Structure 1
């Protein structure tokens, strides 16, 4: 069974980096940055750091596994809380960005609060509830 990893990326300003997807015929939606674990990845964590480098040319520090779920395709998805201090979406290198049939990918930096999370169409829906609860507990904020 394929495994996927996702990085809930919290910036030093306590904002959340999400990927906004715009595809023809579908309402815009947001996803957590990440992708599939490859055979060449030494671990899920290594796969996550590779995906962050590919998708936003960023360097993240993994804090902990926050949630795991099985998606409708039967894949296990692992959602890690991570802190990020540098990124450059202009330097993205992921293969998905080379395909014209995938629609648009836009990096979106959003306030880390329950109102914002409720207002965006964040998929999968289950992660919206997980983030909402974690924000209410104060589990996601960085310390300075």
Structure 2
């Protein structure tokens, strides 16, 4: 089972920061920053910090684990985090230099259900979860933390 981490990043302007993917011969879609948990990562949260550093040249302030998505071959841990600063031109992830991977762009999306409905955010389970939370709660930060107490 492949373990992945993703960050729903909230900017100082209360926008959601997502990566827009434009791949050859595929429709445009958006993803939350993140990726594989590597054997050298001390924890899922350390993996998430590494991924955000590689993909955005930023540091997330991780608030909570909000969702776990079980797939046939992978499990994705979705965290909610604030991010104060990033430098997309200074990102360093290995996927950014691989030929044929397409375009990686950065978009700030208003934290509203209508704005989420206007993009194709992957995976679909994350879109449904965030849309429901935004419709029902005063803030995404009102979501429960799924991390086990230490």
TM-score (norm 1): 0.94
Q: Is the 8 A contact 1:15 1:111 kept in 2?
A: yes
Confirm whether residue 51 of structure 1 aligns to residue 16 of structure 2: no
- State the superposition RMSD in angstroms: 1.3
2:106 alignment counterpart: 107
2:19 alignment counterpart: 19
Judging by fraction of residues, say which structure has more strand: 1
1:34 alignment counterpart: 34
Deviations 1:71-119 (A, max 9, x none): 34x1000000000001010000000001121111001111110001011
Q: Is the 8 A contact 2:24 2:100 kept in 1?
A: no
Q: Is the 8 A contact 2:3 2:37 kept in 1?
A: yes
Tell me the secondary structure at the aligned position of residue 67 of structure 1. strand
Tell me the secondary structure at the aligned position of residue 41 of structure 1. coil
Deviations 1:29-49 (A, max 9, x none): 001110000000000000001
Q: How many residues align?
A: 141
Q: Could you list the runs of 5+ residues in structure 1 that have no partner in the other structure?
A: none
